[in-house]
Each structure stands twice: as C-alpha cells, then as structure tokens.
Structure 1
C-alpha cells in the first residue's frame, strides 16, 4: 500500500462521542431510504434499480414473464463466439436460480427467446474496446402474444454488458414462482463514459487464493468494471513464479502461498471471458525487498534492502527476463511499473552504490529517474505501454516517455497537470477511492469527478478513467469482498454512467436506494457485500432489518 496514506482506518481514532453520533446518523438515513425503496418496490418494480445507470432508456407499464428455458439465437459475425455462449449460460444460472428448479407448470411465457446480434468476430480485449449495446424488450402486439428480447452490440464485450443489464431487469416473483420483467417494454442504449474502469487487488500483503481472485473478477463484471489491476508483488512477499529466475518466489510468505504461471494465465483467461483486462504491476525500484530473498545481490546490502541496487547490470537483466516471462501471460497493452515512494538514502549510504553514483555524476534523484526510465524502455521493448504512479510525473515529468500513463493517487489535481502536458492519466485519489480507508462513505466515493479541473475537451480525452484500490494490509480472503463492495460500485457508476444523470447531489436518496438494491443483488449472487450506509466499511449490521436498509 502507499505508505503516505494518512486516512485513518481505525474508528477509535475519531473519538467515541463522534463515532456514536455518526453511527446514529448512519441509521437515520436508511429509515427514509427504506420508505422510498418500499414505495417503489410495492408492485415488484425492481427494474428501476439498474446499476450502473444506463445512458438512455425508456420503459412502459407492462409486466412480462420470462421462460426459464429461454433460448439464445445468436447472429452476426460474432454470434458464434464462445465468450457469448458461455456468458448466456452463466446469466441463465443467475437469473433462473429458483425458477429453473420448479416443475413445468404448462403456462405460456411472454418472453421465450433472446436474439443476440454481435457485429464483429474480433475477440481481442484491449483498451477502448467497444462496450456499447442496445437492449430491447418488446411486448407482443396484435395477434402475437409472444414478446422479444434483443441485444445488439458491435463486439462480444458489448454483448456481455447487455446481458448483465438484462439479468438485472429480471426479478423472481416468489408468489407466482416465475421470473418477470417489470415496466416493459424497455429500450436501452448504453455505453461506458470512460474506457478504463478499474479495481486494484493487492495479493502481496495478504495472499489471496485464485478462487477468491476469480470471485472478485466475477463480481466486477456485475458492476461493469473492466480492468483488474493485479498488484501481485511488493516488499512483503513475491508470490509469482518467474521461470527465468526461479528463486524469485522464494520471497513468498510460504511455499503454499504462490501463483504458478498456469494460475496467472488461468486468471487472465477467466477475466477475459467476462470482458475484464488484467493489468499486472511490478513496482520498481522501491517496494521490492522481497525480490532479494531469492537473489540477495539485488539488495544494496544485507542491512539496506531497497530500493533495488541501481548500480548492477544484474538488476536490469533480471527485470528484463522477468518482464519477458510476464509478457507471455499478460496480453493487456498496459503494464504498471510502480515507481512510487522511492527513498534513495539506501543508495547514498551503501559504499559501492555511492561510488557508482559519484562515478556517473548522479544524485539519488538522478538515479531514481535513471531506474524508472530503464524500466520503461524494457517494457516498451516488449510492446507494453508503461503506467507509473504519480511520483514519477511529479519528480521528472520532462524525462518520462511520452507514452507514459500517469496513475494519480496522492491527491487531487494531478490528472489536470498531467493531461496539460500531453500525458494520459488514471484517477485514484486516495482520499476518495482507496477502499482500505474504511471511514470513507459511499457518498464520497460516488460524487467525486475524475475530470475535475479539466475544461479542455482534448485534455478530457486523455483521462482514461479511474480505479478504486483494495490495498491488502488489513484485508485477506475472509473480508476482502465486503471491503470492496458496495463502495466499489459507487465508483463503477461514476465511471460508466452519464455525468449529467449521476452528479446531482439532490438525488442522493434515490441513488442510495438504487445502491442498496444493487448491494442486495450482489448478496443474492453470493458476493458478501457489506451494508451500504456503514460509517465504518465492512462493519456488520447492528440489528435486525431488511437487506435493503442496512
């Protein structure tokens, strides 16, 4: 995690009286929200609560039943995609979890077939892939009593987003024991506002089994997030197998807390099937003490273990071989090289490194720049676009490769400065989008604007999007998902939906009710999402009550 973080993660630090007051207030808001929600759900109107909010939609006042044996008719050049076929079956299992188990009643259903039209057979998943789609649910008219569902998309990944929206429009009626679509007919035109909508997952501070990582990826698809930033390695542990340098994963916590290259490839493939890229990170030259467990020569000295030794060619030979191995696993065009929190005192205090600095007429700051730029050159030679934390831009912007993507985290205002100098930027301001800051409420996550301070249209286009960060010092397999959700969903809607329809704070009550509904959708799908209105994230409910109001 970024060590300069100052937001408290301990509620005791806020003082008992203040904590009591905030907890009391957090319970008053759901009372109003509960009334608002019940007034809208009185007729089973779950359709109001699509998350993230589509760009354009119209609806009617009819209720249609959906056949649990819903069939797929996929056409277009991409209609035969395995990605589409598997997604359809996956969403059928989610949507008809109850209805599919019931004996046939012989009743006629209004909606029996999904027409899915995909215009491209290209399944390459890269930055900016077309995720737009249209969804039409039309009731029967005239002599026809059968309605139609149609999803049309330019890519298989747009089709995935349309299937998610369709699944949210379908609700199980426990009385009639059928799946229904309320407020039909529906017409939805949808697309993402930003091409990069990410979640950082840290598996160095606490090892996360591959099944947990996959569950996080699955849950990301429900909120239409599309980049898993996998912070695999840090100073505490090195869990990844690197065939060219097999001693590196001696830096893992134990021999049972590791990822083989097959594990990593499986995670990338699993994510692609859900339209999610995997952005891997190797954080250099700081945050790399664990590397020296297997190769001690990477340390400046036994007592001074990071940053990595800048004076040795072996350091860069190893980095080059390691990235070449990783390039075989991670096809995404972006690769994160870290570059944050580099404290060069170790270099200046180690005799042979100090001598190297003097021989090359370098200061510690110069050597920091030298290391970052050499790492960038290696990544670019492997046809990657380098991403670096903002310290690199803050320290030597004129020297960075122009292709560099600047990743903001320290404070607001970095993206405006970066795009003004022609760099692309990813927004992750720690004050609002660091999920390990447990005292940041959903509203603060939701109402941040990634383009704040940028008024030029050409510069706005350089902001790729944003990312919420799940640093792992205080989260492991037991609580990582309830720390991620539902606050990550607040950022997901900010990154997907139209700014004009989600920025008005006078609609907070309606937004809260939709987010509470989405949180309950997550829990129904097996995602252990925490209550929305917690003062302290991942705190359990304090008493009996509905899922929709805790």
Structure 2
C-alpha cells in the first residue's frame, strides 16, 4: 500500500516508506535503498562543476573526473540549454557537486564497497549537491542517480532538479550483477561493446561477462598461440590483445569488471582451425582432445595471456554441454582412456579439474557452468563458483554443499529467449527457497545472458534493454523494497527505457516481447 506524509511549507519534505507499491512520481532506476525528497526546484548553474575538498581519493587516474564529464554529457545532450539566469533564479542555483570518497584506492574487484549517500540540501551559499562514498565506484553510482534527478524544463530552457531537498542512501543488494555478451556467434564491433558497457553503467550492472570464443569462431588474439584466431570468421572480425585491454580499461572507468570466458572442453571446434592437433580427429572436432598434453599446454598459455589483461578475480571455464562421444569413437583416445582406467564421464571430470588447476595457478578463482556441479560437484575445487543456467532449484542445491553460485536460469534470464517478457525478468528471485543466512551469502548475484546467435551490431541493444534493466533492479534493490506485482514498476521502467533512448541506447518498448518494435504511434512513455 502506498502512503505519503505531506507537509506544506518552504521545506516541504516527503519521506517515502516503500510497501507493495512505488510512488508514481519518483522515477529512479534501480530504486535506491532509502529516499527522502521535498518540493523545491533548483537549476544547474552554467558553471556546474566538480569539487573534491576533503576527499581521501585524489583521482590520479581521472576516473571521477571522467564520470562527472559523462554526467554533464547525458543531462545536456538532448536539448539546447539556455543559461541566461535572472535574479529570480540566483538563490535557486546548484553551483556544482561536491564528492568525498573515503578510500584512496581505485582498485576494482568483486565485493568492493559500492555504497553512497547523495544529498541536496538548500542550505548555504552557494548550494551544492553532495556525494559521500566509500570508494570511487560508489561515487560513480551516485552520479548515475543524480543524472536521473536532472530534467530539461521546456519553459525555462534549463536543466532543473525538482523535489529538493533530496537525501538518498544506497547500496547494492548483490555484489555480482552481470550481463553476458557473446562475440563468437556474431562479432560485435568495439564501439558497440563500449555502448553496451555505457548502458550497463546507467542500470548499475557491474560485470561484463565476455563469452569471447565458441565452436563457431575464435576472434581473440592469443600471443602465446598466434594461430588460434585463424578460427575467426574473417581477418577483420578479430580483437587484438590491445583491444581487449581497452575494453577492460573502458569498463573499469565505469565501475564494471570484465569476466573472460574460455569454454572448455566443449564448444571449441574453432580452436582447431589454427591448431588441428586439438581435435580428436578431422571428422570429430570437439570436445578438445583430453589425451593430449598439448591441449593443456595451450590452455595454460591462453590463461597466462588472459592474466595479463583480465584482472578480475574470476575466470569462467565453461564446462557445459560436453558431448564426449568423440573421445570414445577415436581409437587413439579410446586407448588412452583404457590405459588411464577412465570412462567418458570420468574423462570429462578429469579435463575440467585439470583446467581448474591451471587457472588457479594463474591466480584465478574459477566459474563453471552447472553441468560440472551436476556431474561431479564434490570433486570441484572448493572455491568454484557454479553458474546456474538450466533451470530453477540449482542455486539452493549448490549453496547447501558450501559452494558459491551465480544465477542465470534460462527460463527467466536468457535475453535470446525473445518470448520472455520484462516482468518475468523482474520477478526472478536469486534466493528462491534459500532461507539460511549463511547460504544466502554464497549466492554472489545473478546475470542476464545475451547469447549471440540472433544478435549482431544491428539489434543487440534492443534485445538487451529494457529487460536487462528489470533484472538490474532485482539485483540492486533490497528485497523488502521490491513489489510483488511488477505492474507497480511498469511506468517507472518505461521512463528508464525512454531515458535510455534519449541517451542513444536503442532500448525496445516494454509493450511487447524481446526486441519487439512499437506496434503503433504513441508516446515513448506508454509503449
């Protein structure tokens, strides 16, 4: 039930108590933990600027400065702003934004403190918006929230912040809030990947899971084994290591980690284009040859090169959908299996565990798709994170064994399932049937997956958005703040979708399934 306490006066303030409904006049996505606001209107000064007096963070790398510049870009890009302020506005100007960050470090890793406080109190002269954050990445989230408080006023032709005074206290519910993109099924240009990263930041997602290679293509340069990217679709549809480093750097400056995936032993036919010795035989080309020392030498080389670029604590080693029949149907591998006393299932286990040990030797903790847990979960490295995708009920079984889990169940969070609507994404709860507080902590978070069979640079954005934003609020906002009926957030999500459009993101209408076009003429806000 929605309720508001209304007090009239100059300092009118409305304190929101979130129940089963959200107030219709508060368009922030994802919803913060705590919000208080009033009824005054302030204008952004022509010289609106950033100050950091008293901050321990010195911004030597320019992350905060760049974040502020992006803030100005997105709040001014859609209109021509007129700055001829008269006396009537002088006492209602926001001169800038004052940011205090308590940590000196800008290291970006899993489980960093992303909390922040944002307040705009019309006291003092001049008046500033204020941000206080534990880390610079919490400050970036605060800037994103502030950008949603800014609006263009058509009567005054100025950027305004309504409902001042504001007091917002916020932190994410889960530390892992991911989006997978797949550059094997279709190559994604660098600029499109950067656009996806920008849009992730708008929704406060913080992990780009880069499914780089698969059976169809191997587009990434690997200096230790330079023929691997012979498996790319073409000579132009490739990523150099410099491009990979640029993606990681670009994402970091927006508070986003890049999780690299090397899916083994299945999904690897493209590897053998450059190195045919990896295939069991020319006629039977995957999974990778489990009997060959060269296979594991190559994996070691790839992960060694990865470790120079991908600094996230985790690496994804896949392990899903492994058809082992090539091993038993290839005489020399069958002979090796007999010598080792292994059947096909045991060889699959052998491969996954050996690949895990290689990754650990390079300083990584390993994420594997859930088949590895389903087949031999007790044998996995105890630091393994199990990535659920096949369906519901997996996370509760994983955490019951003491392993960690990421939720991406395909019936709810696969973006390539175009018949799954935004409300289904919104209502997918990662902690379903997990009531033990210690087990709840083992669910790192969740991830929506944009598999690439039917997306390239022409349609990836409208397939991701706004459905990914629905999951983003589920992963960011406290559970007790989330309504049980998704219709209560529909207008606010529609507003965020229109905001994405205004920022150049081709987000599809809510009124339809995945990437459906508008069905008729009408306002952005009702589609």
What TM-score do you get using the length of structure 1 for normalisation?
0.89
2:40 pairs with 42, 62, 66, which one? 62
Assess if the C-alpha contact under 8 Å between 1:72 and 1:113 holds in 2: yes
Give the drift of 1:427. 0.3
Whole-Å separation in 1 of the counterparts to 2:246 and 2:520: 41
1:219 pairs with 185, 199, 216, which one? 199
Give the drift of 1:139. 1.7
2:290 pairs with 291, 301, 310, which one? 310
Give the drift of 1:404. 0.2
Residue 131 of structure 1 aligns with which residue?
A: 114
Residue 80 of structure 1 aligns with which residue?
A: 59
Structure with more contact order per residue of length (Cα contacts < 8 Å, sep ≥ 6):
1
Whole-Å separation in 1 of the counterparts to 2:59 and 2:182: 36
- More divergent stretch after superposition (100-109 vs 288-297): 100-109
Whole-Å separation in 1 of the counterparts to 2:225 and 2:232: 14
Residue 121 of structure 1 aligns with which residue?
A: 104
Is 2:233 aligned against 1:253? Answer: yes
Whole-Å separation in 1 of the counterparts to 2:209 and 2:440: 22
Residue 533 of structure 1 aligns with which residue?
A: 511
What SS does structure 2 have at the residue aligned with 1:289? coil
Assess if the C-alpha contact under 8 Å between 2:81 and 2:159 holds in 1: no
Give the drift of 1:147. 2.9
Structure 1 segment 82-161 matched on structure 2, within 5 A: 82-97=62-77, 101-102=81-82, 104-106=84-86, 108=90, 109-140=92-123, 144=124, 146-161=126-141
Q: How far does the alpha carbon of each residue in 1:425-451 deviate from its partner, in whole angstroms, 9 at most, with x for none?
A: 000000000000000011110011100
2:432 pairs with 440, 452, 455, which one? 452
Give the drift of 1:284. 0.1
Give the drift of 1:504. 1.9
Give the drift of 1:326. 1.0
What SS does structure 1 have at the residue aligned with 2:311? coil
Q: How far does the alpha carbon of each residue in 1:353-381 deviate from its partner, in whole angstroms, 9 at most, with x for none?
A: 00000010000000000000010000000
Residue 330 of structure 2 aligns with which residue?
A: 350
Structure 1 segment 318-337 matched on structure 2, within 5 A: 318-337=298-317
Assess if the C-alpha contact under 8 Å between 2:81 and 2:158 holds in 1: no
Assess if the C-alpha contact under 8 Å between 2:177 and 2:206 holds in 1: yes
Whole-Å separation in 1 of the counterparts to 2:96 and 2:199: 26
Whole-Å separation in 2 of the counterparts to 1:411 and 1:309: 30
Is 2:291 aligned against 1:291? Answer: no
Is 2:173 aligned against 1:203? Answer: no
Whole-Å separation in 2 of the counterparts to 1:134 and 1:46: 23
Q: How far does the alpha carbon of each residue in 1:55-96 deviate from its partner, in whole angstroms, 9 at most, with x for none?
A: 011111111112142111113111435110110011111112
Residue 3 of structure 2 aligns with which residue?
A: none
What TM-score do you get using the length of structure 2 for normalisation?
0.93
Whole-Å separation in 1 of the counterparts to 2:394 and 2:24: 40
Whole-Å separation in 1 of the counterparts to 2:81 and 2:241: 39
Assess if the C-alpha contact under 8 Å between 1:131 and 1:155 holds in 2: yes
Relative to structure 1, the CA distance from residue 64 to residue 510 in structure 2 (aligned partners, 3 Å threshold; closer, same or farther) is: farther
Whole-Å separation in 1 of the counterparts to 2:331 and 2:82: 75
Structure 1 segment 499-518 matched on structure 2, within 5 A: 499-505=479-485, 508-518=486-496
Instruction: Point out where structure 2 has 5 or more consecutive residues left out of the alignment.
Output: 1-22
- More divergent stretch after superposition (192-201 vs 536-545): 536-545
Is 2:142 aligned against 1:162? Answer: yes
Assess if the C-alpha contact under 8 Å between 1:79 and 1:117 holds in 2: no
Assess if the C-alpha contact under 8 Å between 1:432 and 1:440 holds in 2: yes
Whole-Å separation in 2 of the counterparts to 1:102 and 1:236: 52
Assess if the C-alpha contact under 8 Å between 2:33 and 2:477 holds in 1: yes
Residue 478 of structure 1 aligns with which residue?
A: 458
Is 2:464 aligned against 1:487? Answer: no
Residue 8 of structure 1 aligns with which residue?
A: none
Residue 543 of structure 1 aligns with which residue?
A: 520
Whole-Å separation in 2 of the counterparts to 1:407 and 1:323: 20
Residue 15 of structure 1 aligns with which residue?
A: none
4+ residue runs over 4 A deviation:
98-101
Residue 383 of structure 2 aligns with which residue?
A: 403
Whole-Å separation in 2 of the counterparts to 1:450 and 1:160: 25
Give the drift of 1:336. 0.0
What SS does structure 2 have at the residue aligned with 1:139? coil
2:350 pairs with 370, 375, 393, which one? 370
Give the drift of 1:47. 6.3
Q: How far does the alpha carbon of each residue in 1:236-255 deviate from its partner, in whole angstroms, 9 at most, with x for none?
A: 00000000100000000000
Whole-Å separation in 2 of the counterparts to 1:239 and 1:80: 35
Whole-Å separation in 1 of the counterparts to 2:503 and 2:290: 48
Give the drift of 1:148. 2.5
Assess if the C-alpha contact under 8 Å between 2:405 and 2:442 holds in 1: yes
What SS does structure 1 have at the residue aligned with 2:64? helix
Pick the structure with more helix per residue.
1
1:523 pairs with 501, 518, 521, which one? 501
2:443 pairs with 449, 463, 480, which one? 463
Count of aligned positions: 500
What SS does structure 2 have at the residue aligned with 1:514? helix
Whole-Å separation in 1 of the counterparts to 2:46 and 2:78: 9
Whole-Å separation in 1 of the counterparts to 2:77 and 2:370: 45
Give the drift of 1:180. 1.0
